[in-house]
């Protein structure tokens, strides 16, 4: 660690739970962020400021004026620019030592298959059910820890799914992929601006804990926030042995039978 790094990350080094060893792990890690919007903004900025060596950001959208109410990584001057490129500018301005790979594309199964190989942690900051299922399936296949977040109106949630742990559920254990969910978007439902900052910051914290080895991750625990009353509720999430995604991992089945899908 250089003198400049010792100074930049000194507040982490003072923490017994992180210290030099934990910070070194952060400085040699690779984070994959899916989505550069409301959740992706605090995630990318905090991971960049903490010194994550390589951050890959996937987003196919462009910065819009309506985004600026909550997507703090973007600026008025970058309206119309691809969000992934705007994110790169923001992170590099904050910490030029971080390598940022912007990918202006939608996260599909083929792209995820390529990107997850090198990632140490994946952060799902997307805003649709189909993408979350694809990201989860890829994380289970490649045994990568997934930090999942969601926020709409005044309600938010965050959870860690870690397929490296036998008892950990995956996203599909809780939200089966064959179930129809009504999509709720900020554009139609609205969202309280600081809420995405809170949830995104929690996602960043969980990712840094996973990378550094500090503390106890939210693995198998769903943390929900009611922003109206600012009350947190935690639910323990057991793994579903009949899950069509991570259940295949344990029983070594290669087929997925829709009739086996449980209720969430």
> Can you tell me the distance from the alpha carbon of 257 to that of 19, in angstroms, rounded to the nearest whole number?
47
Q: What is the pLDDT of residue 189?
A: 82
Residues 215-221 have a mean pLDDT of: 95
Q: Which CATH architecture has domain 15-238?
A: 3-Layer(aba) Sandwich (3.40)
81 band by pLDDT with thresholds 50, 70 and 90:
very high
Task: Give the Cα separation of 237 and 263 in Å (integer).
Answer: 13
Model confidence at 260: pLDDT above 50: no
Beta partners for 41? none
Average pLDDT over residues 135-143: 97
Question: Which residue has tokens 């087929």?
Answer: 255
Higher pLDDT, 130 or 256: 130
What is residue 127's three-state secondary structure?
coil
Residue 181 φ/ψ, nearest 5 degrees: -115, 140
74: Cβ–Cβ under 8 A, 6 or more apart, which residues? Answer: 41, 63, 67, 68, 83, 86, 87, 90
**pLDDT of 253 strictly over 70:** no
Is 50 exceeded by the pLDDT of residue 257?
no
- What is the pLDDT averaged over residues 19-29? 98
Tens digit of pLDDT for each residue in 30-77?
Answer: 999 999 999 999 999 999 999 999 999 999 999 999 999 999 999 999
pLDDT of residue 188: 73
* pLDDT surpassing 50 at residue 252: no
Q: What is the pLDDT of residue 67?
A: 96
Is residue 245 within 8 Å of 180, Cβ to Cβ?
Answer: no
From residue 122, alpha-carbon distances to 72, 95, 116, 152, 253 in Å are 21, 20, 8, 21, 25
In the sheet that holds 30-34, the strands lie side by side as: 99-103, 54-58, 30-34, 121-124, 146-152, 155-161, 221-226, 231-236
pLDDT of residue 178: 85
End-to-end CA distance of the chain: 46
Q: Give the global pTM.
A: 0.91
Q: Does residue 255 surpass a pLDDT of 80?
A: no
Sequence spans of domains, the chain: 15-238
**31 SS3 class:** strand
**Range with lowest mean pLDDT among 12-26, 43-57, 246-260:** 246-260
Residue 243 to residue 177: CA distance in whole angstroms: 10
Q: What is the mean pLDDT of the chain?
A: 91
């Amino acid at each position: 660690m250089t003198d400049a790094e010792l100074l930049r990350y000194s507040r982490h080094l003072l923490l017994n739970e992180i210290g030099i060893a934990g910070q070194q792990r952060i400085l040699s890690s690779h984070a994959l962020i899916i989505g550069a919007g409301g959740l992706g903004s605090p995630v990318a900025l905090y991971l960049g400021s903490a010194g994550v060596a390589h951050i890959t950001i996937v987003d196919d959208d462009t910065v819009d004026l309506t985004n600026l109410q909550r997507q703090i990584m973007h600026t008025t001057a970058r309206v119309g620019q691809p969000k992934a490129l705007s994110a790169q500018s923001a992170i590099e301005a904050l910490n030029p030592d971080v390598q940022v790979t912007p990918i202006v594309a939608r996260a599909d199964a083929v792209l995820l298959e390529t990107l997850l190989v090198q990632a140490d942690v994946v952060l799902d900051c997307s805003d649709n059910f189909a993408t979350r299922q694809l990201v989860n399936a890829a994380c289970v296949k490649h045994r990568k820890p997934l930090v999942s977040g969601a926020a709409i109106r005044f309600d938010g949630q965050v959870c860690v799914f870690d397929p490296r742990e036998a008892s950990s559920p995956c996203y599909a254990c809780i939200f089966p992929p064959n179930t129809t969910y009504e999509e709720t978007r900020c554009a139609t439902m609205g969202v309280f601006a600081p809420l995405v900052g809170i949830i995104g910051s929690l996602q960043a914290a969980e990712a840094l804990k996973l990378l550094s080895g500090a503390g106890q991750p939210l693995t198998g625990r769903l943390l929900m926030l009611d922003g109206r009353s600012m009350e947190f509720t935690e639910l323990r999430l057991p793994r579903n042995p009949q899950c069509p995604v991570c259940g295949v991992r344990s029983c070594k089945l290669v087929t997925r039978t829709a009739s086996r899908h449980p209720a969430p």
